[in-house]
Chain A
Amino acid sequence: MTPQSFVTVYKEWDIVGARQIAREMAKELGFNVVDQARIATAVSELARNIYLYAKEGQIHYEVVETMNKKGLCVRAVDTGPGIKDISLVMQDGYSTSGGLGAGLPGVKRLMDEFDIQTKVGEGTTITTTKWVRL
């Protein structure tokens, strides 16, 4: 798995850049309008988490293809503080920043596959994929 492209997130405006690339790639892959919006929103959430908590990180994009389906894989990588209790952040309504607390569980619902790897003090990697509906 080699990332095809990535953006670095460390300013608030990088979030906009990150989701624009996601939307462009989704459009090219043939996702419909609703799925494009889903992917863009999910990337927006992931990038905002990086901006808010890790301060700096990257969003990687990758086109994945199997025998009978293709999709877009988005990976958010940071070397921030990590997450202490994953089950807590995956709960709706839990937030440490006064937000809605719908970010990560929302991303999980917006995308088809969702995987989170984290270690306190070392960083977090979230890998998530959306398949094109045929």
Chain B
Amino acid sequence: MESRFTRIVVENSNTIVQMWIKEIDSLKEVNYTATISDSLYDSTNREFAEVIFTSIRNQGSTNAVEEFSGKIIKLGWPLSYITDGLQAFRRVTTDFILSQSEKVDTDYFSNVLSSVNHWIEPIIRQLVNDYTGSWENILSLQRVALQELSAPLIPVIDGITIMPLIGTIDTERAKLIMEGLLQGVIKHNSEVVLIDITGVPVVDTMVAHHLIQAAEAVRLIGAKCILVGIRPEIAQTIVKLGIDLSDFATKSSLKKGFTSALEITNRTIVDLESKEEKVEKLIHLLQGE
């Protein structure tokens, strides 16, 4: 029975594809793919049809499907293009087979439906799997990328280290920050650590809590922590929230923080006299004689 349907469909593949493409074209108006150029849309549709028929002929071979899904994912087309396309194919094929048969009873009808489903389902499964697989892949890559930019620790000068924080701090990042901070302080033998929060968009109680904990831990291993880069609006929200940062040395900018870090480590910045000035002074002295 099923092989007879296969024969009908394969023999009339051209007619079915024509009907299917007409159906798909009407879908183009209502969905997502309206911005895609007609020629590309057309050639992809033909390829899609070819893939479906190859799969039907080979009783569910998946190589062609895999190749096709890879291509669609690369093009960045929505998953609904594929599911809509296959639903349309199911409708068209069922209609076609029924129109080709003289005698239609319930058994016959359910036979047609089940064999059409039998062709379509493995393709849907494969394509949806490939799609979600690629999304999960992107997600995990972004996670890794996010972790990479997590919290670098930069030793700028003997005893002074800077940790610039950028972006949102969640529990996981907070943990990484704490670990990185403590290890870095030991490794670089820092006396002062500057935590720069210029790039942190929102400081809520959780972020503040993590910062306070980090500073406390740094204090325990004998270093000093200065919080820098507090923007005026952040300062106001911290005050309104009622967060107590009084145990914490804070400065508005990294520059000021660095200067006070130098003071703590008994250093100052001295401008060197330029060579020209020296020569001028010398000339002045000579003229005076």
- The residues of A with any CB-CB pair to B shorter than 8 Å are 12-13, 15-16, 19, 23, 33-34, 36-38, 40-41, 44-45, 48, 92, 99-103, 105-106, 109-110
Shortest Cβ distance from residue A47 to the other chain B in the assembled complex, whole angstroms: 9
- In the complex, chain B residues whose CB is within 8 Å of the CB of A13: 170
Contact of B202 among A37, A100, A101, A103 (CB under 8 A): A37
Contact of A44 among B171, B204, B232, B233 (CB under 8 A): B204
- In the complex, chain A residues whose CB is within 8 Å of the CB of B208: 100, 102
Check if A92 sits within 8 Å of B242, measured CB to CB. yes
Whole-angstrom CA separation of A98 from B203 in the bound complex:
18
Contact of A37 among B171, B212, B237 (CB under 8 A): B237
Check if A38 sits within 8 Å of B170, measured CB to CB. no
Chain B residue nearest to A93 (CB atoms) is B242
**B249 contacts partner chain A, Cβ-Cβ < 8 Å:** no
Shortest Cβ distance from residue B135 to the other chain A in the assembled complex, whole angstroms: 15
**B236 contacts partner chain A, Cβ-Cβ < 8 Å:** yes
List 6 A-B pairs, Cβ < 8 Å.
A12-B170, A40-B201, A41-B241, A44-B202, A109-B240, A109-B242
- In the complex, chain A residues whose CB is within 8 Å of the CB of B212: 100
- In the complex, chain B residues whose CB is within 8 Å of the CB of A12: 170-171
Q: Mark B223-251, 1 if CB is under 8 A from A, else 0.
A: 00000000011101100111100000000
- In the complex, chain A residues whose CB is within 8 Å of the CB of B14: none
- In the complex, chain B residues whose CB is within 8 Å of the CB of A36: 233
Interface residue SS majority, chain B: helix
How many contacts A-B (CB < 8 Å)? Answer: 68
**B206 contacts partner chain A, Cβ-Cβ < 8 Å:** yes
Q: Which of B219-278 contact A (CB under 8 A)?
A: 232-234, 236-237, 240-243
**B57 contacts partner chain A, Cβ-Cβ < 8 Å:** no
- In the complex, chain A residues whose CB is within 8 Å of the CB of B206: 44, 48, 99
- In the complex, chain A residues whose CB is within 8 Å of the CB of B242: 92, 102, 105-106, 109
Contact of A110 among B168, B203, B237 (CB under 8 A): B237
Contact of B205 among A16, A23, A103 (CB under 8 A): A103
- In the complex, chain B residues whose CB is within 8 Å of the CB of A103: 204-205
Chain A residue nearest to B206 (CB atoms) is A48
Q: Which of B176-221 contact A (CB under 8 A)?
A: 201-206, 208-209, 212
Whole-angstrom CA separation of A110 from B239 in the bound complex:
9
Check if B205 sits within 8 Å of A37, measured CB to CB. no
Shortest Cβ distance from residue B264 to the other chain A in the assembled complex, whole angstroms: 27
Check if A102 sits within 8 Å of B237, measured CB to CB. no
Check if A41 sits within 8 Å of B171, measured CB to CB. no
